[in-house]
């Protein structure tokens, strides 16, 4: 059986970031505001190293390139998913992502970016931007030019435990006071529509990508009114979403409610977002402190979780 692969997160400083990735999760962070923890990633902008075990010190991208048997022989040039924790102390830019076809053509063969957000925590009375109200390209462009952001953007109130699916072409922004776990395609292509006229440390404005955004916005997207999870929890497991790129579940493990989760997939991403516990895979037992992230590779066997914790898991 294949052993679990624990990863060392890569931390990124961001203009809009805060300090919760250190304060809440104990990660070693660079100086200044830190916005993103790339927790499970083989992307060149944040390639995680393996922490412990047979593959200790190797980059995750090396495992994907050289040991495809760990991933059930799954095809593809790059590991398909990327898991982040995002600490938005301030508002992120208003943005939109392309689909695979547009990204492949215009972004040097990159994947597009389908993503989803699980709200770990949110400021009381907070909200988030998902969707926009323009009917077509011309109206969208005119509303941007006029700065009619309140008319254009669809704001949704949020609270801890909410979940949002963000398909390519959906205008969106994580707003201040929000801590989320993001599951996404392994892509770093973002088209900024508006950045609140903020200046960077050197006094410059960040680049906007208005024309690309106009090209990729999907005007048929139905803007949500809530992120409340309505799916039933069955034996501690709640199915949050199924898309062409990933399936995401929430697992809630209680002191008197252990959870065994089947692992028949090419791989399974696991993140401990709250609490602590342990997992048994094969003959091995692993401790799972809060903020732990690991990949259960192909043929690692079912995962038996105990403790008092909440996990987000995903697979293709």
Q: Catalytic residues, which ones?
A: 192
Number of helices (H), then strands (E), belonging to the chain: the values are 6, 21
Give the residue from 50, 43, 13, 44 showing the smallest Cα distance to 28: 13
Residue 77: which residues within 8 A CB-CB, separation 6 or more? Answer: none
Is the CB of residue 162 less than 8 Å from the CB of residue 231?
A: no
| Number of Cβ atoms within 10 Å of the Cβ of 33 | 17
Spacing of C-alpha 143 from chain mean position: 29
Give the residue from 215, 244, 193, 186 showing the smallest Cα distance to 102: 215
Please state, in angstroms and rounded to a whole number, the distance separating the CA atoms of residues 276 and 60: 24
242-279 as b/e, with b when 16 or more CB fall inside 10 Å?
eeebbbbbbbbbeeeebbebebebbbbbbbbbbbebbb
**What is the widest separation between alpha-carbon atoms in the chain?**
62
């Amino acid at each position: 059986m294949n052993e679990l692969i624990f990863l060392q997160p890569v931390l990124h400083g961001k203009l809009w970031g805060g300090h919760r990735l250190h304060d809440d999760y104990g990660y070693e962070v660079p100086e200044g505001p830190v916005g993103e923890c790339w927790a499970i990633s083989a992307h060149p902008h944040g390639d995680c190293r393996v922490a412990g075990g047979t593959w200790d010190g190797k980059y995750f991208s090396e495992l994907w390139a050289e040991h495809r048997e760990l991933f059930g022989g799954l095809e593809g040039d790059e590991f398909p998913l990327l898991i982040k924790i995002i600490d938005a102390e301030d508002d992120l830019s208003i943005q939109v992502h392309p689909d695979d076809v547009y990204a492949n053509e215009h972004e040097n063969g990159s994947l597009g970016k389908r993503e989803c957000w699980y709200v770990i925590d949110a400021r009381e009375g907070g909200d988030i931007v998902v969707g926009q109200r323009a009917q077509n390209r011309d109206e969208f462009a005119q509303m941007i030019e006029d700065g009619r952001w309140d008319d254009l953007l669809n704001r949704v109130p949020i609270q801890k435990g909410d979940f949002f699916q963000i398909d390519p072409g959906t205008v969106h922004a994580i707003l201040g006071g929000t801590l989320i776990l993001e599951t996404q395609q392994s892509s770093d292509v973002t088209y900024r529509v508006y950045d609140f006229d903020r200046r960077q440390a050197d006094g410059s404005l960040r680049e906007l990508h208005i024309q690309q955004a106009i090209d990729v916005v999907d005007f048929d997207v139905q803007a949500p009114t809530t992120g409340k999870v309505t799916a039933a929890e069955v034996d501690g497991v709640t199915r949050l979403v199924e898309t062409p790129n990933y399936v995401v579940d929430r697992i809630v493990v209680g002191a008197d409610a252990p959870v065994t989760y089947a692992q028949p997939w090419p791989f399974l991403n696991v993140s401990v977002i709250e609490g602590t516990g342990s997992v048994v895979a094969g003959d091995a037992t692993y401790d799972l402190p809060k903020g732990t992230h690991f990949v259960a590779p192909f043929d690692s066997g079912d995962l038996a979780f105990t403790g008092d914790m909440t996990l987000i898991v995903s697979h293709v």
